[in-house]
């Protein structure tokens, strides 16, 4: 839901210079990245206390890392759009 809202806001930002929307999008990206960190930490704690699949652990962290990279790129796009406006 948060990512959908970010993408929707990004689309709106293409149509109009909107500093409050820009601040919202940058803040939301940071909020989602923090949530990813917390989720990864919780997952790591759970995996150390259970007999899980070691491969699943690595895959989960790779997914989270890729998701954070996507958010970094979205943040860069927001900043770039704001400079042009």
Q: Is 69's pLDDT higher than 60?
A: yes
User: Whose structure tokens read 């803040």?
Assistant: 27
Q: Report the pLDDT averaged over residues 17-33.
A: 87
Q: What is the pLDDT of residues 59-68, one digit of tens each?
A: 888 888 888 8
**pTM (predicted TM-score):** 0.70
Confidence of residue 82 (pLDDT cuts 50, 70, 90): confident
Q: Are the CB atoms for 11 and 76 separated by under 8 Å? A: no
Q: What is the pLDDT of residues 8-17, one digit of tens each?
A: 888 888 888 8
% of the chain at pLDDT higher than 70? 86
Using the CB atoms, write b or e for 34-67: b if 16+ within 10 Å.
Answer: eebeeebeebeeebeeeeeeeeeeeebeeebeee
């Amino acid at each position: 839901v948060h990512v959908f809202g970010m993408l929707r806001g990004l689309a709106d930002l293409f149509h109009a210079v909107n500093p409050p929307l820009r601040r919202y999008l940058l803040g939301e990206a940071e909020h989602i990245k923090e949530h990813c960190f917390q989720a990864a930490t919780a997952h790591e704690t759970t995996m150390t206390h259970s007999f899980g699949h070691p491969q699943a652990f690595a895959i989960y962290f790779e997914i989270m890392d890729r998701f954070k990279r996507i958010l970094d790129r979205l943040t860069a796009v927001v900043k770039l759009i704001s400079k042009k406006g």
